[in-house]
Chain A
Amino acid sequence: MLVLTRKLGEVIRVGDDVTVRVLEVKGNQVRLGVDAPAEVRIYREEVYRAIRKENEDAALHDAGGAALASEVWQREPGKH
């Protein structure tokens, strides 16, 4: 991990196209401004991890797929 120290208002550049600026520091909260091309996705890390985990839990690696879901859904009317 590359560790840099920045003061309020200073900027970090990631690659050629992404910059991160320290906008505000208040107690243990830091407000950051990220400038990046539209195709670069930016996430809060915990949100990214939650979605990645959910995608991984949802991913099927065999032919069960939608047939399994339909059977579960119809097998237990009124509950799942």
Chain B
Amino acid sequence: MKRSTLVLLIGILAIVIVAGCLLLLSTNSLRAASAVTPPARTPAQINLLTVFLTGLLTGGLTCLAVQGGLLATTIAQREEQKLEDRAKNNGNALPILFFLFSKLIAYTVLGLLLGWFGSLFQLSLTTQVLMQIAVAIFMLGTALNLLNIHPIFRYFAIQPPKFLTKVVRNQSKQKDFFAPVFLGAFTIFIPCGTTQAMMALAIGSGNPLLGAAILFAFVLGTSPIFFLLGYFATKLGDVLHERFMKLAAAILIFLALYSLDGALALAGSPLTFRTIFSKPQAVGRQEISSEPTLALTKGGYSPTSLTIKAGSLVTLHLINSNGQGCIQAFTIPRLGIQKVVPVGSSGIVRFTAPLKPGQVPFMCGMGMYRGIINVI
């Protein structure tokens, strides 16, 4: 087998193995992390996988155009200095691998910064709602731009200032072998649509480790395709490119609506996507309690409905056995109550039930895991 083919196969295998292991590891370390740091504001398990898949299926292609072009320039300049067959022996796999590893590290650090920046805006309900709406709008705008709906959506794509792009350009002119490494890191200044949406997600997570994990998962997802296509340096047909753009847009819209739905619930709106599309739950016969207990678990809150007497003084016991991420931020938007109960601990919320009978929703800090308090 030719040496270059061997390097290529090793490269692909390495990326797939590293991807699998690190994704598992990062999910587990997130569980530990969210126990000691301020509650992460994203259901970690769901989003990381979606993020990785977005990168895998669409991110690699949408970014390949110029980031790949940059890489191709450095490779071409390497070959100018050698005889063609010597270049073929070593193959182009190594510079691409260097490029991708460097990009991975740079983006993970960026995710750390973005998540930390997001966490500065603390748990005020209003801020959280605004943040989620902003993230949803940005993702929707990016998706609509990917679908070429209207030129106005082009403004959702952030173009880095000229002086930054000049630096990236100068790096690509170097015939140095380490140029790909610098290039990989500098690509954070020329992110494409899907990458920017992921950056928005990282900010919205409000947790540096989660932000880092999100961008890490995304870049990891883009790597296999980037590597394969970069290696063969072939341009994919226009039709396939169109299909990938549509898939990226669809995933972004899904993430945007999910974020928006949570924002609506947190804002105390009785109308959210879930209430419109799901059948109202039948309220079973329930014991009225003035001291109910609510368990915070991995899958949400249990039970999902509580019954209390109108106008009464209620002492709610919250026990967190293994509730991760936003579940730790127990919220009753209508009553303006938010109590953070870290995993493995318990807490108490005291309030006076509203005088009017009705339903008062409770939910996690991002509006995603929900339940109902029946006031009778």
Q: Do A and B come from one complex?
A: no
Residues of A within 8 A of B (CB): none
Residues of B within 8 A of A (CB): none
